Amino acid sequence: MSTLTKGKDFLSIDDCSSEQFLGLLSLAEQLKTGKRTASLRGKVLGLVFLKASTRTRVSFTVAMYQLGGQVIDLSPSNTQVGRGEPVRDTARILSRYVNALAIRTFAQAEIEEYAQYATIPVINALTDLEHPCQILADLLTVQEAFGDLAGRKLAYIGDGNNVAHSLLLGCAKAGVSVAIATPTGFAPDPAIVARAEEIAAQTGSNVIITTDPHEAVADADALYTDVWASMGQEEESISRQTLFRDFQINSTLLKQAKPNAIVLHCLPAHREEEITNEVIEGPQSWVWQQAENRLHVQKAVLASLA
């Protein structure tokens, strides 16, 4: 089974091939169902989180504990990072103490700098550009719901953000067609769209970028949304509530997808904004399985890299 290469970084979905992406999903499924085991005994993961986190922080921590490893919380408020010690120095020092770093920050350039200077694997635990570990859990959930991935269609409704970017790349790698519907001016990064189109051409899937949520959800097997204003965009959250009003997953939009479509959300959710309470609590919601799958894919990522 081809997964991630030991010792390498995982900064973007595009750091793995289609084969490695599907291999990670397979390893996660086998670890989840007990068909396979892995050991990280004696290994230590450092968590450098410059933004809040429940799922990512806890799933990485529990994944390490359950595989026999340990975790050290390197929050900037407790380290010299918070007092401005340069990334290149921090990365080289931490490499001499821990076996891998999971980093949540703002600029992709910052995590790339960590990776450049660290001699241990650096894992993207969310940046403004991407959220690769999330998308592994998302596609594992789609695979569990339908038994397969190739030929499925996922529709993402909302902001063309980090989650949308990783979904574009991840769906394309998995042969899942992806439609992204955003308000005008909030489309995903054109360079990522172009790269997703390139990958999709190889895997026989489609990439659709639109401002029409109805077009996006037609024939979709999975509907996905995320907050309208991401961490770091708090000052825009009020203005975005008006701009994004028509980009809500509600029961009317859900009826326009396939009858057995599942609903996904990376969480945390803002009920009655990007998703209604009725839909997130409804029978088509797979958001809790999706959140659980964060644990299983983190194990697959850690066991491959560390």
- Sole window of 5-13, 50-58, 204-212, 249-257 interacting with ligand CP (rule: CB under 6 A): 50-58
Q: Which amino acid is at 16?
A: C
Q: Is 152 an annotated catalytic residue? A: no
Query: Does the annotation count 134 as an active-site position?
Result: yes
Which of ligand NVA, ligand CP, none is residue 182 near (CB under 5 to 8 Å by kind)? Answer: none
- Look at strands 122-124 and 100-104 and give their pairing: parallel
d(CA 241, CA 212): 17
Three-class secondary structure of residue 59 per DSSP: helix
Q: Is 62 in the site for ligand CP (CB under 6 A)?
A: no
Which residue from 267, 287, 205 is spatially nearest to 53, judged by alpha carbons?
A: 267
Q: Scanning residues 133 to 172, which ones bind ligand CP (CB under 6 A)?
A: 134
Structural tokens at position 117: 């200077």
Nearer of residues 9 and 226 to ligand NVA, judged by Cβ? 226
Q: Which of 50, 266, 275, 279 binds ligand NVA (CB under 6 A)?
A: 266
Answer yes or no whether residue 273 interacts with ligand NVA by CB under 6 A.
Answer: no
Q: Which of 12, 20, 26, 56 binds ligand CP (CB under 6 A)?
A: 56
Six-digit token string for 106: 């703002």
Q: Report yes or no: 140 and 172 within 8 Å, Cβ to Cβ.
A: no
Active site residue 16: no
Footprint on residues 183-202 left by ligand NVA (CB under 6 A):
none
Q: In this structure, are residues 18 and 10 in contact, taking their beta carbons and an 8 Å threshold?
A: no
Q: Does 161 bind ligand NVA (CB under 6 A)?
A: yes
Q: Please classify residue 77 by burial: count the beta carbons closer than 10 Å to its beta carbon, then call 0-12 exposed, 13-18 middle and 19+ buried.
A: exposed
| Span 213-232, contacts to ligand NVA by CB under 6 A | 226-227, 230-231
- Say how many C-beta atoms besides its own lie within 10 A of residue 242's C-beta: 8
8 A C-beta contact, residue 118 and residue 8? no
Q: Indicate the residue among 93 and 267 with the shorter CB distance to ligand CP.
A: 267
Residue 2 burial (C-beta neighbours within 10 Å; 0-12, 13-18, 19+): middle
Q: Using the minimum distance from each CB to ligand CP, give the nearer residue, 27 or 102.
A: 102
Partner interacting with residue 226 (select from ligand CP, ligand NVA, none; CB below 5-8 Å by kind):
ligand NVA
Give the residues lining the site for ligand CP (CB under 6 A): 53-56, 126, 134, 266-267
Q: Give catalytic residue positions.
A: 104, 131, 134, 226, 266, 294
Give the residues lining the site for ligand NVA (CB under 6 A): 126, 161-163, 226-227, 230-231, 266
